[in-house]
Amino acid sequence: MSFLHPEFLYYMLPPLLILFGFLLTQKESHEHFFSKEVMDKLRVSSNSLTLKARNALFLLMAFFMIIALAQPVIKESKVEVKAKSADITIAIDISDSMLATDLYPNRLEAAKQKVLTLLSEAQNERIGVVAFAKNSYLVSPLSFDTKAVAFLIRRLNTASITEKGTDFLSVLNVVSKDNEKRDKKYLLILSDGGDKSSFDAEVELAKKHNITVFVLGMATQKGSPIKLQDGTFIKHNGDIIISKLNEKIADLSTKTGGVYIEATTSSNDIKTMLSEITNISDKKELKSAEIQKHTPLFYYPLGAALFILLLATSSLKRSVSPLLLFCLFLNAPNADAGMLDFMDLKSAKEAYENGKFEESAKLYEKYANESAKPEAYFNAANAYYKGQKYKEAIASYTKAAFENDEAKAKNLSNLGNAYAKEANHGSLQKAKEAYEKSLSITEDYATRENLKEVEKLLENLKEESKEEKKESQDKKKKSDNSKDSQKKDSSKDESTKENKEKKSDDSNDQKEQKK
C-alpha cells in the first residue's frame, strides 16, 4: 500500500499534537474544585463517555481523516500511453478588411469563434497561432495547452495594426522557419483572401517547404462595407468599398494538397476542416508515458472516521455494543452511496472520453435519478447527444432544472441543438423556442448562429410547403381543364355527327323530289 498525497501526513501533524495535548491536560470542569478521592465518593455510576474518552475518539477520528486525505492505494500494473499528434499552425487574418460585417458580428470575431470551436474539438493535436496583416506575428507556438491558446485568441484585434494590406508570404515564412524538424507542416488560414489576383508565389513557397495549406474563406461573395472602429467606412475616391470573398485563395489550398471551405453560420465548417486536416496529416508519436494503475482505498479510513465521529458525539451508553452500532451504520440505506458515487461518475467520464457514449449516458442517468442533480442530467444528455440518441438527450436536457442563469442558458442551447437534429418542422420550431429562451438569459454567439440556421430551415420548409401546395393546385386545375376540354370535344363530335346526319337526310329528300 502507498499514498498518492503523503504530504497530508505532515501538514496535519501540528493539529494532532495540539489535540493530543488537550487529551493529556484537559480536565472536566468539576475536577478543578474537588480532589479525585472526593469525586470517587461523590460520583454516581454512569455509563456515558467521559471528556477524555471523547477527546480520544476525536484524536482517532482525526487520524483516520488524515489517512483518507492522503489517499491510500494498492498499486497495480503500469500502462504505457502513447500520444500521437498532428501539428497545426492556425493563421488568422487581422487586417482591416476582416472588420466587414457580412459574417456576424464581423469577419474577425467569426474567425476567432471558429478557432475556439476547433480548439474545443481537437483531441491530441498541438496548436500554434499566427496573426497576420502586412506582417505576421507569432501569437502562440505549438502547444497542447488549448486553454492558454484560447485565452490569447480571444484578445486578438485590429487595434494595434498600423500597416495596411494582407501578405500571405509572411505567414508561410513564419511557418517555414519553425525550428522543429518535421517532414510536413500543416497551415490553416482564416482569411477573406485579400485582393490578390494570383497566389502562384505562395503556392511555390509552400511546396518548397512541404507546407500543406488549408483555407477557411471568411467572407461572402456578396460582401459588405468595412466599418472601422471609429465608426467610419473605408472609401476609395470617395466611394465606400465593398469587400468580397477573394475566391482565388482557393488555389493556395488545392494546389498544395489542402482543402478549401467557405465559412458558414454554423460550426460544421470548422469541424469538417479539422476532420480533413487530421485525415490528411501524418500523425507522429510525440510523447509516451507510463501510467500507474491503482485501486483506491480512501473510503475505508473515511468510513472509520465517520463511525468514530458518531460514537464521540452520541449520548449512547457505554454498555451499547460498538459492534452493534457499526452494523447499524453499515446497514443504513444508501450508507455507502455518498462515498462510492464518485466511482460511477469516474466510470461515466472515462466511457465518454473513450467514445462509449451510450454506456456513459446510462451511468450519468443512473446517478441523476438517485441524486436528482441537474448537472448529472445535463451530462447524461450530452452523452446521449454524442451517441446520436436525440430523443433521450431531449428528455434528459428537459429534466436538468438549473437555477444558475449561465448553466440554464447552456442547457437550453443544447436542448435546441438536440431538437434541431430531429430535422422536422415540429422539432425545428421547438429548437427555435429553446434558442430564443437561452438568448433571453444571456447572449451567446454560437446560439445566435444556430438560431439563424434554424430560422432559415423553417423558412425553406415553409417555401417548400407553398410550392407543393401550388403544384397540387396546378395539377388539380390542369385536371379540371382537361375534363372540360374532353367534354367540349365530346359535345363537338356529337354536333358534327348530327350535322352530318341532317345533311344526309336533306340529300335524300332532294333525290326523292327529283324522282
DSSP symbols for 314-351: ----TTS-HHHHHHHHHHSTTTTHHHHHHHHHHHHHHH
> Which three cell numbers, joined as nine digits, stand for 505?
337526310
How far apart are alpha carbons 117 and 471 in whole angstroms?
43
How far apart are alpha carbons 339 and 304 in whole angstroms?
12
How far apart are alpha carbons 143 and 89 in whole angstroms?
10
The total number of structural domains in the chain stands at 2
Sheet of strand 211-217, all strands in order from the earlier edge strand to the far edge: 136-143, 126-132, 87-93, 185-191, 211-217, 260-262
How far apart are alpha carbons 250 and 170 in whole angstroms?
18
- Residue 342 inside a domain? The answer is no
Largest CA distance in the chain: 173
Predicted confidence pLDDT, tens digits, the chain (515 residues): 778 778 877 777 777 777 777 666 655 544 554 455 554 544 544 455 666 777 778 778 888 888 888 888 887 666 555 556 678 999 999 999 999 999 988 999 999 999 999 999 887 788 999 999 999 999 999 888 888 899 999 988 877 676 778 999 999 999 988 756 677 899 999 999 998 999 999 999 999 999 999 999 999 999 999 888 777 888 888 888 999 999 999 999 999 999 999 999 888 999 999 989 988 876 654 555 565 667 778 888 888 888 888 887 764 444 444 444 444 444 443 434 444 455 566 777 777 777 888 888 888 888 888 777 888 889 888 889 888 888 899 999 999 888 888 889 999 999 999 898 887 888 889 989 999 999 999 888 888 888 988 888 888 888 877 777 777 776 766 666 665 565 555 555 555 555 555 555 555 454 444 44
Q: Which of 225, 245, 224, 246 is nearest to 235 (CA)?
A: 225
Q: Answer positive or negative: Cα dihedral of 479, 483, 485, 489.
A: positive
- Residue 104 inside a domain? The answer is yes
Q: Which of 97, 106, 88 is nearest to 193 (CA)?
A: 97
Structural domain span for residue 143: 84-287
pTM of the model: 0.46
- Residue 1 inside a domain? The answer is yes
CATH number for the domain harbouring residue 173: 3.40.50.410
Give the Cβ contact number of residue 380 at 10 Å.
Answer: 28
Same domain, 124 and 231: yes
Residue ranges of alpha helices (H) inside 185-267 are 200-208, 250-254
What is the number of helices (H) and of strands (E) in the chain? Answer: 19, 13
Which residues neighbour 493 within 8 Å (Cβ) at sequence distance 6 or greater? none
- Residue 9 inside a domain? The answer is yes
User: For residue 1, what pLDDT is reported?
Assistant: 72
Name residue 55's amino acid. N
Q: Is the peptide bond before 105 cis (omega within 30 degrees of 0)?
A: yes
Which of 229, 252, 287 is at the close of a domain?
287
- Residue 97 inside a domain? The answer is yes
How far apart are alpha carbons 163 and 134 in whole angstroms?
6
Give the distance from CA 424 to its chain's centroid.
23
Q: Which of 50, 48, 52 is nearest to 26 (CA)?
A: 52
| CB-based contact 76:294 (threshold 8 Å) | yes
User: For residue 173, what pLDDT is reported?
Assistant: 93
Same domain, 309 and 221: no
- Residue 393 inside a domain? The answer is no
Same domain, 277 and 307: no
Same domain, 248 and 100: yes
- Residue 323 inside a domain? The answer is yes
Name residue 148's amino acid. A
Same domain, 40 and 161: no
Which of 264, 287, 310 is at the close of a domain?
287
Q: For 200-282, list the strands marked E by DSSP.
A: 211-217, 224-225, 235-236, 239-240, 242-243, 260-262
Same domain, 209 and 229: yes
Same domain, 121 and 206: yes
| CB-based contact 218:191 (threshold 8 Å) | yes
Same domain, 8 and 55: yes
Which is it for strands 235-236 and 242-243: parallel, antiparallel or unpaired? Answer: unpaired
Residue with cell 487595434: 159
Give the distance from CA 34 to its chain's centroid.
71
How far apart are alpha carbons 318 and 45 in whole angstroms?
12
Same domain, 258 and 135: yes
Give the distance from CA 510 to its chain's centroid.
100
- Residue 48 inside a domain? The answer is yes
User: For residue 42, what pLDDT is reported?
Assistant: 46
Same domain, 209 and 322: no
How far apart are alpha carbons 344 and 349 in whole angstroms?
9
Give the distance from CA 31 to its chain's centroid.
66
Which of 253, 287, 321 is at the close of a domain?
287
Around 175, how many Cα atoms within 13 Å sit in the side-chain half-sphere? 33
Q: Which of 87, 97, 283 is nearest to 190 (CA)?
A: 97
How many residues does this entry show for the chain? 515
Same domain, 203 and 121: yes
Name residue 224's amino acid. S
DSSP symbols for 412-428: HHHHHHHHHHH-SHHHH
Same domain, 243 and 159: yes
